[in-house]
Structure 1
């Protein structure tokens, strides 16, 4: 299927939020199409039934939207495999756990995820097992267990998240599970404005949202940027297209 044959939706449902993409440009559409085509070819060249693609980037860099549009495009291509995507956010510890361990104010930091569970799930997927992955809800701000069922043999799974390139602790084992890893190169100012607006949409007032960004999200951005050298390929953020 050629680029001109692909239809793009006006809205997307991403982590139980409706995202308006009716204004995306032709260059952005082309970027999403090219990415979908590239990883489809990559899957074919792997010559194995299951492949794992990673998309790493800071909060607000467009990872979730890229993943959902890719799913939309690949379905139209009529690919001979199932494409699915999951988010690292689904492997957050529950809010009750974060509160009991004095981590709630740092949600999104690398130690607020159950990395052992995450690695175990990806190993089972790569091993060909049927598996139920969790999802993440931005309505309740919690992981939701057993949401995404993968039973098929031939699957291309895209995983998006902030810490996929981290080398320390339990994260170090993660990199070798991915067949290819992309990094979205985002601008600090754009990340700041986008994440602050996300916090406000989640119920914080502006002052609190700014404070949360500066004490947590900004530090995450710096660490994630340092780890970006471990990616196989770099993608531009959607606002730079």
Structure 2
């Protein structure tokens, strides 16, 4: 097992990846992306979509590290879509409708409506154009994005997020900018457990964390699992936390 610890959105996160997953999934993926970038002769954009709690932010950070350590690979630059959360002040003062009831957006923070889709789409197009540009990150302790925290200048940019392959108006257009797509799925029970643990790490009491996850996060989990478009490479996280290939599509 490979142990990996990193700061994600202001929190310390640890993950364990099996040698099988590293050597049979992750390294071959990086080799494929390297070959694609060299053949294209320009920056390529890869989208990795996964439901909340699937470990996507940690995974792309690990892939970035792996790409810089293994000889012959083009370094990957990992970024996330969480920096496109609408600001907390906005979410506290704006409402939306869920199940026929009007609620404040902050109560379902993390749902698609709580992201600035137009801003995200514009940033994706800028990255795809090959420009060097700023990129925001989300800080869970500040509860807000930090603008231009990253400078995007890599030849392979790996963007992760919950809804990058969501089959809904506006969202489905994002993948038109991608050179390659990856999806990660997992069982609802595993995702719920991880999400509750993550919420507690931000200082929320356990009972409040459970209520928030069941009301806010789990509908987003189901949306991602049920309403996302197929990716070029589809991965599954098992109950043991290990990664497996569900099915690579033709040509992947």
1:87 is displaced (CA, Å) by: 0.8
The answer as to 2:48 corresponding to 1:55 is yes
Instruction: Identify the match of residue 103 of structure 1 among 99, 105, 109.
Output: 105
CA contact (8 A) 2:31 2:73 kept: no
Deviations 1:52-74 (A, max 9, x none): 11111111111011101111111
Deviations 1:177-218 (A, max 9, x none): 111111102111100000011111112211111111111211
More helix by share: 1
Q: CA-atom RMSD, angstroms?
A: 2.1
Deviations 1:122-144 (A, max 9, x none): 11111122210111212222211
**Which residue number in structure 2 is paired with residue 134 of structure 1?**
136
Q: Tell me how far apart the structure 2 counterparts of residues 137 and 25 of structure 1 sit (CA, whole Å).
A: 29
Q: Tell me how far apart the structure 1 counterparts of residues 4 and 228 of structure 2 sit (CA, whole Å).
A: 31
Query: What is the SS of the residue equivalent to 1:230?
Result: coil
Q: Tell me how far apart the structure 2 counterparts of residues 134 and 183 of structure 1 sit (CA, whole Å).
A: 22
Q: Tell me how far apart the structure 2 counterparts of residues 228 and 167 of structure 1 sit (CA, whole Å).
A: 5
Scaled by the length of structure 2, the TM-score of the pair is 0.84
1:164 is displaced (CA, Å) by: 0.6
1:79 is displaced (CA, Å) by: 5.3
Instruction: Identify the match of residue 34 of structure 1 among 19, 28, 52.
Output: 28
Scaled by the length of structure 1, the TM-score of the pair is 0.87
The answer as to 2:7 corresponding to 1:13 is yes
Q: Tell me how far apart the structure 1 counterparts of residues 169 and 190 of structure 2 sit (CA, whole Å).
A: 29
1:82 is displaced (CA, Å) by: 4.5
Instruction: Identify the match of residue 87 of structure 2 among 94, 97, 118.
Output: 94
**Does the C-alpha gap of structure 1 residues 52 and 203 become closer, same or farther in structure 2, counting only changes over 3 Å?**
same
The answer as to 2:61 corresponding to 1:68 is yes
More strand by share: 2
